[in-house]
Amino acid sequence: MSAQPLQLPTAPVDALVVKKRPLLGIVHIGMGNFHRAHFAVHTAEAIAEMGGDWGIFGYSLRSKKLTDQLAKQDFLYTVLDIHPDSDKTIIPNIHVGALGGPESINQIIEIASEPSVKIISLTITEGGYCYSTQTGGLDHSRAEIIHDVANLASPKSVVGLLARILLNRAALNHAPVTIVSCDNLTANGSTTKRVLLEFAERLSLQERERLTTFIETSTSFPNSMVDRIVPSTEDRHIEMVAERLNVVDLAPVPAEMFSMWVLEDDFIAGRPAWEKAGVIFSNEVDAYETMKLRLLNGSHSLIAYVGALLHKVTVPDARSTPLIEEAVRKFMSVEMLPTFTMPSTIEFTSYVTDLFSRWSNTVLNDKIDRIGSDGSIKLPPRITQTTIAHYADRKSAPLTALTIAAWVACVTSIPSFEPGEVATAMKDPSLEYLRALSEADSSPSAIIEKLFGEGRIFATELGAIVPFKEDVAFYLEKIIKEGVESALLLALTK
């Protein structure tokens, strides 16, 4: 029998999480794979357990390709467990609609302004918040921010879009709303509130006062920590859906079995019963967040950039390389763990064991170039405070310095050095700037001095730590002249 199109009547009933789709209660900005395998699944499971009108209307600011495909499928899609021990496949059935592209901006503003919308959630990557990695506040120099301050009727940034929605709500119905960030940035809820308040400061007096008042009195911004490895969709995942469910889904989401979500319980207009779906409500969100940022995300960076220079295509390939495993274990125990306190409910050794198990999933086969992309945004929050702490104590952080050196080797254009196909496949919003660093002087010390001295990516505090810059330049030179393995061996002996 040939596979049938993914429509609700043909889907196996036991694959549906929500049997009857709920009414609108949430608008989500950022319809990528992570949202559809994480926020959407936890929400669907909560509704399946306890009910509630928490249907999600999705929006993608940049593109409508995915949302158009979902519309053809009645906003249904599958989430695939990709693991040797599981072939679980579910259809959340939680999205009540979706739009994409700048041409739909006014429609989503209207929908998000409806009183029935109690939550606006975000998965827009770190760069979507238009924040400065140096100050932690709004980057006023961003072109889309400059545009939105002058043309808030047609915003180009998510910050401007949220400001417009909140102004609408303030003017129309004063209905309170919670904004939930599900992105990997420090204090994501507090950061979202900060950039919105700083954006408001640039508006006219009337708009500034209205927006600021609504943010302070009628909007809450809980911090959260999210964790699930969700790679890009490949043709093999479409084939898996056909094999498992006998339906055609052109927008399936592959994901690991593991999923964690830690939230502050600060929802001014109510929320789904997420605690019934495995979500942890805690007053230790900052500890969970720091743990993940430094142990998982920081290690991911080391694995990605060293792995890429060793021509490893997937995370399991890199993680299983003895030198990389040794480096990651030392990085976590010696350079990361001493800089923070683990959450009270999690033990370090068990967490590390689980991480290596997750990184060993050869069925999932997460790609190194995906993990290594956007390093200019990801690296500063992962290594800045830890580096400052070590060098303030007159200690060094050789594996951190090596990670930065390997990243520079991957994304800059150093003459006579070829980083390989995996590295050159990495994407970065600052790629043009990074590749221009070596144009005037390609010596490692000159590149590193410009990178930290110009302050466009890393905080000025890091640029002031001369021994750290010297260490990064030293490892970069070793990588260029002798290869990353030689540099790695040296870093492990420090």
> Please, which residues bridge with residue 224 across strands?
263
465 phi and psi angles, rounded to 5 deg: -90, 90
pLDDT category, 185, cuts 50, 70, 90? confident
Select 4-281's CATH number: 3.40.50.920, 3.30.365.10, 1.10.260.40, 3.40.50.720. 3.40.50.720
For the whole model, what pTM was predicted?
A: 0.92
Confidence of residue 441 (pLDDT cuts 50, 70, 90): confident
Q: Which residues contact 372 (CB under 8 A, 6 or more apart)?
A: 301, 304, 305, 308, 407, 410, 422, 423, 426
Buried b (16+ CB within 10 A) or exposed e, 252-265: bbbbbeebebbbbe
Structure tokens that stand for 268 in this block? 């001014």
By the 10 Å C-beta count (0-12 exposed, 13-18 middle, 19+ buried), 274 is classed as: buried
Supply the pLDDT for residue 2: 57
Q: How much is the average pLDDT of 94-105?
A: 97
Question: Is residue 1's pLDDT more than 50?
Answer: no
Quote the pLDDT of residue 474: 98
Question: Mean pLDDT over residues 462-489, rounded?
Answer: 97
pLDDT (0 to 100) of residue 307: 98
> Helix (H) and strand (E) counts for the chain?
23, 14
Strand pairing partners for 254? Answer: 80
Q: Determine the residue type at 281.
A: F
Lowest mean pLDDT among 8-12, 85-89, 235-239, 301-305: 8-12
User: What pLDDT was estimated at residue 136?
Assistant: 86
What CA–CA distance (Å, rounded) separates 435 from 408?
9
374 pLDDT band, cuts 50/70/90, is very high
Residue type, 80: L
Average pLDDT score over residue span 47-52 = 97
Q: What is the pLDDT of residue 14?
A: 83
Architecture of domain 285-493: Orthogonal Bundle (1.10)
Q: How far apart are CA 407 and CA 467, in angstroms?
A: 19
How does DSSP classify residue 288? H
Residue range(s) occupied by CATH 3.40.50.720 in the chain: 4-281
Q: Which two tokens stand for residue 26?
A: 């949430």
Mean per-residue pLDDT, 86-97: 95
Strand 79-81 and strand 89-90: pairing? antiparallel
Residue of 102 and 14 predicted with greater confidence: 102
Give burial (CB, 10 Å; 0-12/13-18/19+) of 247: buried
Residue 439 vs residue 146, higher pLDDT = 146
Token pair recorded at residue 266: 């600060």
| CB 226, CB 184: distance < 8 Å | yes
What's the average model confidence in pLDDT over 26-31?
98
pLDDT of amino acid 439? 85
CA 408/CA 422 separation, integer angstroms: 14
Q: Quick one: 357 exposed, middle or buried, by C-beta within 10 A (0-12, 13-18, 19+)?
A: exposed
Tell me the per-residue pLDDT of 204-257, one tens digit each, with 9 for 90 and over.
Answer: 999 999 999 999 999 999 999 999 999 999 999 999 999 999 899 999 999 999
d(CA 339, CA 312): 30
Percent residues over pLDDT 90 in the chain: 90
In the chain, ranges of CATH 1.10.1040.10 domains? 285-493
Cα separation of 37 and 27, whole Å?
16
pLDDT at 44 over 80: yes
Q: Is 25 strand, coil or helix?
A: strand
- The number of angstroms, rounded, from the C-alpha of 309 to the middle of its chain's C-alpha atoms is 23
Mean pLDDT of the chain: 95
The Cα-based distances of 83 to 43, 86, 244, 358, 366 in angstroms read 22, 5, 14, 10, 12
Place of tokens 């889904």: 249
Question: Which pLDDT does position 416 carry in this prediction?
Answer: 86
Question: H-type helices in 114-157, by residue range?
Answer: 143-150
DSSP annotation of 287 reads H
Question: Three-class SS of residue 414?
Answer: coil
